[in-house]
Chain A
Amino acid sequence: MSAHTITPEPSYLEYKGKYKGIFAWILSTDHKRIAMLYLYSIMLFFLVGASLGLLMKFELIAPGKTIMEAQTYNAFFTLHGILMIFAVVIPGLPAVFGNFLLPIMIGAKDVALPRLNLFSWYLYVVGIVLVLISQFAGAGPPDTGWTFYAPYSFRTAGNMLPAVLGAFVLGFSSILTGLNFIVTIHRMRAPGMGWFKMPLFPWTLYGTAWIQLLATPVVGVTLLMVVAERTLNIGFFDPALGGDPVLYQHLFWIYSHPAVYIMILPAMGAISEIIPTFSRKSIFGYKFMVASTLGIAFVGYFVWGHHMFTSGMSNTAMYTFSLLTFLVAIPSAIKVFNWVSTMHKGSIDLQTPFLWALAFIFVFMVGGFTGLVLGSLAADVHLHNTAFVVAHFHFIVFGGTGFAFFAAIHYWFPKIYGRMYDTKWANTGLVMFFIGFITLYMPMFYLGFMGMPRRYYDYDEVFHGGNIVSSMGSWMLIAGLSIIIINLFRSARSGPKALADPWGGKTLEWTVASPPSLENFEEIPTVTKGPYDYTQD
């Protein structure tokens, strides 16, 4: 294997193509360069979204107006939601690590449709530009929240059209990425790599891609209907014209709940790569991991109604949605058990990516269990639209996907840049980030349970204490985040050179050079072993 590590080919960072300067990147159809385009754009909008979050937390540090007006606060949580959901978390792992690693992990030179891949990134940029236009043009920024609920979304004076169209275009970009991955996995696997020799990260990307493909079009057409409502006054969702706003909620969540699994499945996939590597042990229950991935993807389609328990549904529908919601917990729990069982009697190496993975399992479990609380009908009536919900989905979306993103970047960083980061700073950042995260969101469970509603810039005096703690947590979190990012940026430029396989990983990406060459493999490998085979060592 080590014969492959030294290669005369220039790396993907260095090779000279047809174009020069920045065009060598923005016109490149190389999956690795496209992944980097996504990485930098996603990091940028993540920082914008995080800054908005920080400011909102600052507003909430005391009752009444602290630093912003109510309308500004509404605009902030709307933009925070749109950016974080559509521009950061949904494309996060698939578009960055999926693009970079999927072809390498299945032994291919690129994705099946490279030009479509680049086109998806351009659509992503167009979507972002539309969202940004909504902030600065017209009557004022959107103030509906990222869900664009009818009928307010076509009554508000806010500049909804570009924001809704932007979300539509971002969805289209996500569909094309998913389509590309499905074709890639079906057509490009290296000889010998049967379906059950495929590593788990590609498997989760496969499940994710199907959700992207099957769910996104529904929200796409729903957003187009909102556009038609605003421009033509059609009345689909307007009670004054016979339309039904609850129908909007159904159509919206038919996509947007499966979207949660678009966010979390690849995160679980990345964790499933990291844990065997640092336990020096094959993943426990590989086939169950695959089955649970597909199970989550499948059942995830039929639980959207749990967002609408207080919107008006028949009792039968409510029971059914509640039951199905509980069922999703089973495959999720299988994954957690298997991760822990993989560590059991493993030879554990406590490196930064592994620590992130441990943190992930913890926050994911908190997020998952509180999800069950919200999935129970009676509890949900009490907790609906409170800070409890906000805490829950931040534990899943930020705690789950966000932590997995940082785990993934610390795991594959040496592969991507060919350099190593400073472990001490990385761990310091992680600890601060983790403490900040818990301090920020844990009090919100309590506040929500006590009845503090979400999406208000003001609150009753009784909630003051919890909000102070929560806001202070946000400062700690941002401090940790800054350390992490500065450390990574510095190391990408001047860190010590990394080996091809610094962690002792067994999947195919560790058999090629760090950073990989343009074509990844000079010769397409033939796969004979399962993905996490440590029996040789």
Chain B
Amino acid sequence: MDTHRDDVGSKIGMWLFLLTEMLLFGGLFIVYSVYRFRNPEAFHLAAEELNVFVGTLNTAILLISSATVAMSITAIQLKNKKLSLVLLGITIALGLVFLVNKYFEWGIKIEHHIYPGSEILALRGHGDVLFFGLYYFMTGLHALHIIAGLIFIGFVFVRIYKNKIDSGNFALLENSGLYWHLVDLIWIFLFPLFYLIT
């Protein structure tokens, strides 16, 4: 019935959605600040236990993947479908590598009995419980966003492959790129808060 298409409108919609995502994490940043303010010592020491190398690696991975998704948008504008698909493929692969790193990072912590509800963690005091509680909750929620972003980009990948997205109609690809940048942006805040402020 409707052949109406409004690329600007759908992009405004995406930006508004990203705003809600920021506020979603905003609530958590408030919680983080309150508990950091109340337990400065414990947060300081606990942060030193996280592996800065893996954190830095993951930051680099996400930054590169953000670049590749942006390049993929340029590629489709230049009518280079194949390059666009390759770049999106790299983005997806990098997202998966990020998740694998996260898996091992969490795995090692859990092996050391550092997880919410662990009795050994509880013995270490309130500050540690809250720090690692926030760590798991915030990086976990972020990981869920990575997974959602990967599904979104995978969907776009198929649309490009089937020529449903091309140089004249790529708002959906741009939106998936925007979403991926947001996921990246949130990590840029999580990384210093948990790994670097020691």
Binding site for B on A (CB under 8 A): 17, 109-110, 112-114, 116, 175, 179-180, 182-183, 186-188, 213-214, 216-218, 220-222, 224-225, 228, 232-236, 241-244, 247, 251, 254, 518-519
Contact = CB atoms under 8 A, between A and B. Distances in A.
Nearest to A209: B16
Contact of A241 (B10, B28, B129, B134): B129
Nearest to B8: A187
B116 interface: yes
B127 A183 contact: no
A217 B17 CA distance: 10
Nearest to A224: B141
Interface stretch (B18-26, B93-101, B151-159, B177-185): B18-26
B111 interface: no
Contact of B27 (A218, A232, A233, A519): A218
Most buried by A among B1, B28, B34, B39: B1
Contact of B116 (A110, A221, A235, A247): A235
17 contacts: A114-B2, A175-B20, A179-B17, A180-B13, A183-B9, A187-B9, A221-B25, A221-B27, A222-B27, A232-B117, A233-B116, A234-B116, A234-B129, A235-B116, A235-B130, A243-B130, A247-B31
Given A113-B9, A187-B8, A213 B20 contact: yes
Dominant secondary structure of chain A at its interface with chain B: helix
Given A116-B13, A179-B13, A232 B116 contact: yes
B162 interface: no
The 3 closest A-B pairs by CB, nearest first: A242-B126, A234-B133, A217-B23
A236 B20 contact: no
Contacts of A233: 116-117
Given A217-B20, A220-B27, 7 more contacts: A110-B2, A112-B9, A183-B10, A183-B12, A234-B133, A241-B126, A242-B130
Contacts of B8: 187
Dominant secondary structure of chain B at its interface with chain A: helix
A234 B141 contact: no
Contact of A236 (B1, B10, B19, B31): B31
B170 interface: no
Most buried by B among A242, A247, A254: A242
Contacts of A236: 31, 130, 133-134, 137
Contact of A251 (B4, B27, B129): B27
B26 A218 contact: yes
A490 to B, nearest CB: 32
Contacts of A116: 13
A519 B1 CA distance: 9
A187 B15 CA distance: 14
Contacts of B136: 232, 234
A114 B13 CA distance: 12
Given A217-B21, A221-B25, A244 B34 contact: yes
A262 to B, nearest CB: 14
B37 to A, nearest CB: 11
B129 A242 contact: yes
A220 B116 CA distance: 21
B122 interface: yes
A242 B27 contact: no
